[in-house]
Each structure stands twice: as C-alpha cells, then as structure tokens.
Amino acid sequence: MALAIFDLDNTLIAGDSDHAWGDFLVEQNIVNKDEYQQANDKFLKDYQSGQLNIFEYLDFALKPLAENKLEDLIKLRNTFFEQKIAPILLPKGFDLLEMHRQKGDFLLIITATNRFVTELIADALQVDDLIATEPERNKSGFTGKVEGTPSFKEGKIKRLNHWLESQPHSLEGAYFYSDSHNDLPLLELVQHPVAVDPDDILRQVSASKQWPIMSLRN
C-alpha cells in the first residue's frame, strides 16, 4: 500500500474551485461585484504565473468567511457544490482514484484551497483524507485569518510531513498527481510524480525529467 496524493483544482476537477467560489460569491451578491471580481481574477493570474503571494490572497479569500454567518455559508456552499462543482467532476478522475483504491493505496488530496471550500469536494471524491489550507475559527465562526501553514508550494511538503507524523504511512513509493508548476517541490519529492493536464511550465519540466504526462479530460 502506497500513498496516492492528488492536487485538486484542475487535476481531479476540471476547474479551480477557489476561483470559482469567488465568482459564485459575486453572483450571489455576497461581495462587491466589481472590486471582488477584479481582485479574484488578478490573484488567479498571479497563481498561474507563479507569482502569487499566498498570504495576501488568503487575506482576500477568507474575509467573506468572517463576514457571514456560518449557517448562511454552509447553505451557500451546498448550492455552490451543486451548481459549480458537480458539473466539473471528471469521470476519469473517479477512475484514477478507483484504480489506486483497488491497489490498496491511501488516497490523499493536498490542496492550497481552503478546507471550507474543498471538504465537500473531497467527500464527493471519496478520498481517505484531505490536507487543505485551514481557515482559523473561533466559537462563533471564521476569523478571516489562516491557521498554520498554507498548503501551497513548499508549504505542501511541510503540511504533508506534519500529517505523516501522526499516520502509519510514509513517502516510500508515493505518487503525486498535479497540473501545476506551483507543485514542483512536492512532485520532485515523491517517487512517482505525474503531470495531469499540466500547465506549460510543468509540461516542459515533466518532459525534461521524463515524468509521465496524462489527461483526465480527454
């Protein structure tokens, strides 16, 4: 049994759930339409170019969680999943997960997107565990701040190593599937890195390192 680790956005699903959640908040008039949409799009471009300041982004992305009641957020999230996420779940993503499940591997999603947005998606994909960026909470709900290390770039390795300390697993024989060059630190760490519908930078690196390249969309 090995660890089969998966990025989420644009890997197991055909889109970016973090950005889509921001778009959904705009559609639902939860945030200022013009200002929020412009910032949400800019942060996505920064991520794609490898220039994202994760803490600036999280200040932006977690603020609506603090400004709304938890019960309202949960209702919004359920609608978001049904309208925006369910249509972009990938049949081949389920097949890939099932292949590893049949081998007896432990299925782990590790994503920079926060847990509030991603936990329903992880449940739908029926993975064994989820490592996500953690929004800080208090007795009344979310604070708008991040708790601990965001699982982004090298932070994925830090969070994974911390997770391994309390788990009967190791990185021996581990797989990691991702679409993004932002995940190169973890891809370079595991024994079986796999590029899934990769961005241009990851495709070039994968070709040079002779990593497998696959598609879950075609």
Given a contact cutoff of 8 angstroms between Cβ atoms, the answer to whether 146 and 135 are in contact is yes
Where in the chain is CATH 1.20.1440.100? 17-86
Residue 139 burial class via C-beta count within 10 angstroms: exposed 0-12, middle 13-18, buried 19 and up: exposed
pLDDT tens digits for range 79-117? 999 999 999 999 999 999 999 999 999 999 999 999 999
pLDDT in tens, 54-82: 999 999 999 999 999 999 999 999 999 99
Residues forming the active site: 7, 9
17-86 belongs to CATH 1.20.1440.100: yes
Buried residues in 159-185 as b, exposed as e (16+ CB within 10 A): bbeeeeeeeebebeebbbbbbbbbbbe
Rounded mean pLDDT of 3-13?
A: 98
Question: How many residues can be counted in the chain?
Answer: 218
How sure is the predictor about 139, in pLDDT bands with cuts at 50, 70 and 90? Answer: confident
Superfamily designation of domain 3-13+89-214: HAD superfamily/HAD-like (3.40.50.1000)
Q: What pLDDT shows up at residue 137?
A: 94
- Provide the angle, in degrees to the nearest 10, between the axes of the packed helices 70-80 and 17-27: 110
